[in-house]
Amino acid sequence: MPKITRKPLRKPATKLLTKAAAAKRPAAEPSGARAAKKSVKASSKASTKPWTAAEVYEAFSRFRNANPEPKGELEHLNPYTLLVAVVLSAQATDAGVNRATRALFQVADTPRKMLALGENRVRDYIKTIGLYRNKARNVIALSEKLIADFGSEVPRTRAEIESLPGAGRKTANVVLNMAFGEHTMAVDTHVFRVGNRTGLAPGKTPLEVELGLERVIPAEFMLHAHHWLILHGRYTCLARKPRCELCLINDLCRWPEKTV
């Protein structure tokens, strides 16, 4: 009897992830990180040649000479209003937050006054800001927690600030730096882009860039480094059309697509 041979069954078209392939997949990340990544997608082509210590020193010396006392653009009256302003600034512009908080902080510049105002009134003050319902809830909840756990004061450690509703690592770093003079590096979309493009501190996540910047920037520049990098990203190293011809560090920048 002739031998019957059967063709092997075709595998289904749907790709099934093996365990190994699944492990290689990047973990889900916060939307802020995704947005920052998107805006800097070309940075993956940046040269990997690290900056020398002398180059980093030179870059920050130039930033310091050009703007010795850089200031953040979020308006606030004290550490508490700074904390609230930073919480409100998630996925919003500083200018938009300032327009809302000018009136809010006139009537509520402490946790107790904010509680007395109540969530509905807070919502009315900030309704021009994105996600305002959620943010109003967080402002009231964090004010309650400040009163209950911290004597109405903004705490001075990252872990304590991060324990407040609506506050994450970036918020903690901004507050620690601006209110208490700590050498922290808050990585927003601008700092993320500049860190990657220039090659100063390449990283796939804001945390990687934060730690990379902390590693390379000399201590004498750390108090203001966060603001210099934000302002550089906001006004010079723009996401779509960086103004390389005006850039103070264009000779040091590693980005292959720089236009000088």
List, by residue number, the catalytic residues: 170, 188
Residue 63: count of CB within 10 angstroms of its CB: 20
Residue from 198, 202, 226, 231 that binds ligand SF4 (CB under 6 A)?
198
For the chain, report the end-to-end CA distance as a whole number of angstroms.
79
- Shortest approach of ligand SF4 to residue 226 CB, angstroms? 16
Number of residues that bind ligand SF4 (CB under 6 A): 13
**Among residues 214, 140, 205, which one has the least CA distance to residue 182?**
214
- Kindly tell me which of 7 and 41 has the beta carbon lying closer to ligand SF4: 41
Looking up tokens 């750390």 gives 222
- Shortest approach of ligand SF4 to residue 243 CB, angstroms? 6
Q: Report CA dihedral (66, 70, 73, 79) to the nearest 10 degrees.
A: 180
Residue from 53, 63, 242, 256 that binds ligand SF4 (CB under 6 A)?
242
- Shortest approach of ligand SF4 to residue 246 CB, angstroms? 8
- CA–CA dist 47, 104 (Å, integer): 46
The torsion angles phi and psi of 80, rounded to 5 degrees, stand at -65, -50
- CA–CA dist 145, 152 (Å, integer): 8
| Stretch 209-238: interaction string toward ligand SF4, x if CB under 6 A | ---------------------------xx-
Residue from 76, 170, 197, 224 that binds ligand SF4 (CB under 6 A)?
197
Q: Does 250 bind ligand SF4 (CB under 6 A)?
A: yes
Structural tokens at position 22: 């699944």
- Kindly tell me which of 142 and 249 has the beta carbon lying closer to ligand SF4: 249
Q: Does 258 bind ligand SF4 (CB under 6 A)?
A: yes
- CA–CA dist 152, 146 (Å, integer): 5
Q: Which amino acid is at 3?
A: K
Residues found near ligand SF4 in the complex (CB under 6 A): 197-198, 236-237, 242-244, 247, 249-250, 253, 255, 258
